[in-house]
Amino acid sequence: MIGERLSFRTLNREVIEPKICAACFGCVSFCTANKLNVLEIKDDKPVYCDEENCLEDGICYLICPRTEDLEKPLKTRFQFKEPIGSYVSIRSLRTTDKEVASVCCDGGVVTSLLKFMLDTKRIDGAALSKKRSLWNNEPMIATKLKDLLECAGSSLAQSRSISDLGDLTTFASIFSALKGTDLRDLTKLAVVGTPCQILTIRKMQILRIVPSHLVHFTIGLFCFENFLMNDDGRKYLENKISADLDQIKRINLKDDFIIKLKNGETFHIDLEDLDPIVRSSCKACTDFTNYGSDISVGGLGSPDGYTTTIVRTRAAQRLVNHAIHLGYLDEIEQKGALRTIERMAERKRDRGKRILGERRANSTT
Ligand SMILES: Cc1cc2nc3c(=O)[nH]c(=O)nc-3n(C[C@H](O)[C@H](O)[C@H](O)COP(=O)(O)OP(=O)(O)OC[C@H]3O[C@@H](n4cnc5c(N)ncnc54)[C@H](O)[C@@H]3O)c2cc1C
Ligand code: SF4
Ligand code: SF4
């Protein structure tokens, strides 16, 4: 509306009401008036908790990954090109560390690269999602190998929302780690996150919002979608794997959802078949490869046990080469990864644009 000050009210009208909110909760975590309890999470949605205390500075609106005001400067800064953003190289890498290999999701590149950066004092901490069990995770600042190992792999966790404690999700929040006392004495951080999370960090950096100035390196996860399961959703997935969810040992996402059971059985479930449990917010998302990160990682495009690594800057290329040279990572030549990743990125972009258009149109009628 003309003349309106940007605030959570605007965000609510343009993003939350049209149901295109990514449920990343950056707005709640980095609200300027955080100490006044202005925003909270209810039913997996950000809501006003005390509207009277809202400062109307519009920070929540500007850093939201679904608003467009800072999108153009970001895309210019990262020289965005369809469909996967700009890059220096695309590589298939894996860890050389047996302990990392035993707990990681794909090739253990995230964990080993962070270890290399901590060992060589390029960073003194990393904002990650700590896996307490397959069913439970929490944001943390990792400062040593033990912490990194606790975060490796993927988890299917309890939803953060207080009102639906029984729901399970593959999405993990990392933002609350970035506003806690854990940051005391830290000067250089890495962040690992989904495209919606990395986009929020980048927007914060444009606006110089604390503590984004500490973020020196971003590792962006490929992300087609995430899942959220209530009781019906759980039953739906249990039917697909003919087993209770507590029989799951590991999960992974490439161009399908991979579930390994404790009895050794592996299921590859087509993403189309998982529509009933996809987080509604993810269907309106357009970025698969995390274009705003320093390096992007996923299993898609590489053989099992390797991580496809899109290196986006010359500095990141030097870093990866150094890690290989010092024996943290090794590499195989992999042809054909680019087209595979591009196809997945196009598929997500096209679905996201269609759903965004539909939801925006519905909310104005
Ligand atoms: C939610 C999610 C969706 C993904 N979707 C795809 C996909 O569609 N296609 C694809 O090819 N790859 C996808 N990936 C990436 C892939 O699953 C691996 O994480 C990636 O290949 C890195 O593997 P690694 O062995 O190098 O990482 P590891 O060394 O095992 O480290 C994994 C890191 O990811 C972080 N992490 C784990 N779960 C989460 C989470 N939920 N949110 C934020 N950070 C988390 C951990 O903190 C850890 O540092 C997704 C990952 C996640 C977490
Ligand atoms: S996408 Fe994230 S920042 Fe935007 S409204 Fe939703 S929770 Fe808030
Ligand atoms: S698809 Fe991934 S990046 Fe997009 S909103 Fe969902 S979790 Fe975030």
pLDDT of the chain along its 365 residues, tens only? 656 789 999 999 999 999 999 999 999 999 998 888 899 988 889 999 999 999 999 999 999 999 999 999 999 999 999 999 999 999 999 999 999 999 999 999 999 999 999 999 999 999 998 876 666 678 899 999 999 999 998 766 655 543 444 678 888 888 888 887 678 889 999 999 999 999 999 999 999 999 999 999 999 999 999 998 888 999 999 999 999 988 998 899 999 999 999 999 999 999 999 999 999 989 999 999 999 999 999 999 999 999 999 999 999 999 999 999 999 999 999 888 999 999 999 999 999 999 999 999 988 76
Using DSSP's 3-state secondary structure scheme, residue 283 falls into helix
Task: List, chain by chain if needed, residues with CB within 6 Å of any ligand 1 atom.
Answer: 104-111, 128-129, 151-155, 170-172, 174, 192-194, 221-224, 226, 252-254, 297-300, 307
- Cα 31 from Cα 11, distance rounded (Å): 12
Q: What is the pLDDT of residue 164?
A: 43
Handedness of CA 203, 204, 208, 211 (dihedral sign): negative
Tokens at 320, concatenated: 């990866």
* Pocket-testing residue among 105, 132, 293, ligand 1, by greatest number of atoms within 8 A of Cβ: 105
**CB of 116 shorter than 6 A to ligand 3:** no
- Cα 335 from Cα 8, distance rounded (Å): 46
| Ligand 1 atom showing the smallest separation from residue 106 Cα | 25
Using DSSP's 3-state secondary structure scheme, residue 343 falls into helix
Q: What is the pLDDT of residue 258?
A: 95
Nearest to 129 by CA among 145, 152, 111: 152
| Ligand 2 atom showing the smallest separation from residue 22 Cα | 1
The pTM of the full predicted model, rounded to 2 decimals, is 0.95
**CB of 14 shorter than 6 A to ligand 3:** no
Q: What is the pLDDT of residue 159?
A: 56
Write down the H helix ranges in the chain: 8-11, 26-29, 59-63, 71-77, 98-103, 109-119, 145-151, 195-207, 231-241, 314-325, 337-364
Tokens at 292, concatenated: 């705003």
**CB of 27 shorter than 6 A to ligand 3:** no
Using DSSP's 3-state secondary structure scheme, residue 60 falls into helix
Class of 8-69 in CATH: alpha beta
User: Domains of the chain: which residue ranges?
Assistant: 8-69, 76-356
**CB of 281 shorter than 6 A to ligand 3:** yes
- Give, in degrees to the nearest 5, the angle at Cα 211 between 291 and 179: 105
Tokens at 128, concatenated: 């990650």
| Ligand 1 atom showing the smallest separation from residue 107 Cα | 25
- Cα 219 from Cα 226, distance rounded (Å): 18
**CB of 171 shorter than 6 A to ligand 3:** yes
Spatial neighbors of 129 by CB under 8 A, at least 6 apart, are 137, 138, 139, 140, 151, 155, 172, 173, 174, 192
How far from 230 is each of 165, 233, 236, CA to CA, in Å?
10, 5, 10
**φ/ψ of residue 221, rounded to 5:** -80, 140
- Cα 2 from Cα 164, distance rounded (Å): 37
